[in-house]
Amino acid sequence: MRISNIRRVASRGAVRVVADVFWEDTARPPREIWFEVGEDRAEGFAPAGEAFLPVCLPLALRQGERRIRVEGRVCPGLRDGAGAAARLLGSWYGAKHEEIAIEAEDGFSAEPREGEGIAASFLTGGVDSTFTLLANHRAFEEGHPQRIREAILVSGLFASEADSPDLAAEFDGRVRRSASAVAASAGIPLTIVRTNARELEPGFDFFARELHGALLASVAHLLAGRISSARIAATTTIRHLVPSGTHPLLDPLWSSSRVEIAHDGFGLTRVEKTAALASWPETLENLMVCQAGPVPDGYFNCGRCEKCVRTLLCFLAAGALDRARSFRRREVSPRIVLRGRFDSEVANQWRPLRKAFCRRGLRALSAAIALKLIRSRLDPPRRVESPETYGARTNRP
């Protein structure tokens, strides 16, 4: 694979960084890959060959490319990290060429930063990314170099999984409103980035298991003109780590001398994160976890899909169900728990809830979850690209 003709293009109130991707060992036509921000957030958003290395490496591995050659220079730290990432992905999924050669037309050199740079984090308005922002602001005072001063949302990543273009637009609009409001409540700007990167390998299973963190890392490197670090919120805990496209072993490998990539928050369960968020009331009104849709105006979450029910149970375990005002429905009961189904992968998110309800003496809810966990062992794991899981915006338990 060759990545060349990297350029910056301004048009209609937006700025786009574009690269041409040429396949060498795969019978595929050349493609453009691009990332775009609004003109008002384009400062420090600059073309750089090494920024396209993370997002293109999993694509090259997937198609059996023997090398990936990047226009311009590449940081040797990122080169070595990308090589380790290839081996890690190969150990997980049996990549065709985990020993892929990484080449840079202008060689490998560590370019020093110009200026201090700021800390940033990726934000969707969900529990994990919102907790990362909250925990950081509680840990680091104003003016501290590690305090997050910018949030980044990669918009439209899940459009192809929606049941229709209208649902895709509705879902993306909710995510934008949620993330914008959460960032505003934290007093920091939100940079919204669009990209066509998923179109090069559209399956959601590939994105979730191999590409996710790499794509986010490429966005961070494109913003290296103003940010020096970017945090990616963990979606699971250290006790239930499984191979995934964003992972504490994988994400830091995409770092360079200019931008550090961190995987944040995998030491805590979602029950613990939700309990922490319960003390941040201005954010709870804008929290969004829902994968269903459409959701009526005034709410971000339907309150009925599996993820909504699970999150409402987290609020109940924290004694804060009444504060979950971004949910259209807030009813939780053993009957509602038993009504749904989930597979063994999702089960890891439910186990901490059973323990939490045991401690609080809510035996009926604990028993209902225990029964669901038993059922989950009988259901084979479903691929996340299935319309029964993440893809459908109308899924109900």
**383 falls in which pLDDT band (50, 70, 90)?**
very low
Q: What are phi and psi of 230, to 5 degrees?
A: -145, 130
397, pLDDT greater than 80: no
Count CA within 13 A, CB hemisphere, residue 263.
23
Residue range 350-367: average pLDDT?
91
Q: What is the pTM of this model?
A: 0.92
The predicted pLDDT at position 381 comes to 53
Domains of the chain: which residue ranges? Answer: 2-104, 118-264, 289-391
Neighbours of 47 (CB within 10 A): 19
Residue 63 has pLDDT above 60, yes or no: yes
- Locate 274 and state its tokens: 């939700």
Return the pLDDT at 148: 98
Q: Answer whether residue 386 shows pLDDT above 50.
A: no
Average pLDDT, the chain: 90
Task: Please provide residue 268's backbone torsions phi and psi, each rounded to the nearest 5 degrees.
Answer: -120, 150
**pLDDT over 90 for what percent of the chain?**
75
pLDDT, residue 108, reads 97
Confidence of residue 392 (pLDDT cuts 50, 70, 90): very low
101-155 pLDDT, tens digit each: 999 999 999 988 777 899 999 999 999 999 999 999 999 999 999 999 999 999 9
pLDDT tens for each residue of 246-284? 999 999 999 999 999 999 999 999 999 999 999 888 888
What average pLDDT score do residues 354-371 get? 91
| pLDDT tens digits, 150-205 | 999 999 998 888 888 899 999 999 999 999 999 999 999 999 999 999 999 988 89
Phi-psi region of 261 (alpha: psi -120 to 50; beta: other; left: phi over 0): beta
- 118-264, what's its fold? Rossmann fold (3.40.50)
- Kindly indicate the confidence band of residue 347, based on its pLDDT and cuts at 50, 70 and 90: confident
Give me the numbers of helices (H) and strands (E) for the chain, helices first please.
12, 10
CB 72 within 8 A of CB 6: yes
Q: Are 46 and 70 in contact (CB under 8 A)?
A: no
CA distance 19 to 48: 9
Closest CA to 57 of 176, 200, 249, 164: 200
- Tell me the per-residue pLDDT of 308-346, one tens digit each, with 9 for 90 and over: 999 999 999 999 999 999 999 999 999 999 887 776 778
Average pLDDT over residues 86-103: 88
- Tokens representing 40? 């008002």
